[in-house]
Amino acid sequence: MKLFNKIIAVTFAICLAFSITACTPKGSAENFYYFNTVIHVETHGTVISATTKAELNALFFELENEFDSKVNGSITARFNQMDKFGEIELTKDAQTVLSVAKECYAFSNGKFNPCIYPLTKLWGFAPFSYTPNYTVPTAQDIANAKAQCDFNALNLENNILKKTETHLTLDLGGIVKGYATDKALQILTASGHTKGYVSIGSSSIALLSYPTLGVTHPTKSGTIITCNTTNAINLCVSTSGDYEKFYVDGNGTKYCHIIDPDSGYPAQTGVRSATILGINGVYGDALTTAICLMEHDGTINSQLTQFLNKIIQEYPQSSFYVIYEKGNIKQLITNKIQNQDFTLHDTEFALLKI
């Protein structure tokens, strides 16, 4: 199989999932590299001070060292290495992230599962383990890996994390970037910045304020949607998609990095990308992953649309843009108003309003 993994330069760090123009005069831009990706922080009209830059760097450093499973002593590394019935006392950050993970697991009926690392690794998408000579796992290998992904074997009580199955592993990379974005936004606003944004790997963005946001087309160059964010202040944006990291086998079958914990296979739902605005980054990252794993048949009563309605009920202030393409169906699924809240640039896609 051939691996497609888009490697981007620092100057284009925010262009994969979203389009945002260059900084305005008298602003400033800073780049960091944590969580195995580029973090771009940009302010408009005000300059990031040395103190604020140091605070941001300390934040990203601390969160990476607390949650990266490759870092000895991190929460995830300790959890993955400890035996059955072991326990860890959690920091405030870890308690928050794990509580959100637990909520989102339940809310998505298990589609968001931070314990699927055995499947992620089996399919060749574990960090730093990509291989150009990858082969599709056998059904037995997949079944064996699935047996090690039971999130319910993780026990969280107050600030204590316990493990009830020895082979259970934890990977919080799916929501830590969103959490870091939320925290970075707090630092910038506390420092008096009101315009600009934070982008972590282009999948998690926080807008202090910005007039428009473009969602990248999953199959063509340029954007497919431009969102009107003129009146949005401190807006968090999260996206997931099947078009950034994937393999294609000799038969042309694509296997993306988003793994379905129920089937054990990469997502084949037809959801090309899912973008949520207006929910905290830590929640948004989890929910966009779950959206990519929901089935859809083009109708208003599919598993996907039912889940989107559930999100609206739980987070009425949120908006979403889901790009769906499978067979002869091409749709933009959203709860917003065309030509008021957004502009759809690709006329091949029909609008499905929720």
Query: How would you write the pLDDT of the chain (354 residues) with one tens digit per residue?
Result: 334 333 333 333 333 355 554 444 579 999 999 998 999 999 999 999 999 999 999 999 999 999 998 899 999 999 999 999 899 999 999 999 999 999 999 999 999 999 999 999 899 887 655 555 567 899 999 999 999 999 999 999 989 999 999 999 999 988 999 999 999 999 999 999 999 999 998 789 999 998 899 999 999 999 999 999 998 899 999 999 998 788 887 778 888 999 999 999 999 999 999 999 999 999 999 999 999 999 999 999 999 999 999 999 999 999 999 999 999 999 999 999 999 999 999 999 999 999
Encoded tokens for 194: 């009101």
Task: Find how far residue 230's CA is from the centre of its chain.
Answer: 24
- Full DSSP string of 129-178: ---TT--PPPHHHHHHHHTT--GGGEEEETTEEEESSTT-----HHHHHH
CATH class of segment(s) 70-96+104-170? mainly alpha
Question: What pLDDT sits at residue 174?
Answer: 84
Residue 23, helix vs strand vs coil:
coil
State how far the Cα of 138 lies from the Cα of 157, in Å rounded to an integer. Answer: 37
Contacts of 73 (CB under 8 A, 6+ apart): 65
Dihedral sign (CA 158, 153, 289, 7): positive
The answer to whether 331 and 273 are in contact (CB under 8 A) is no
State how far the Cα of 103 lies from the Cα of 281, in Å rounded to an integer. Answer: 14
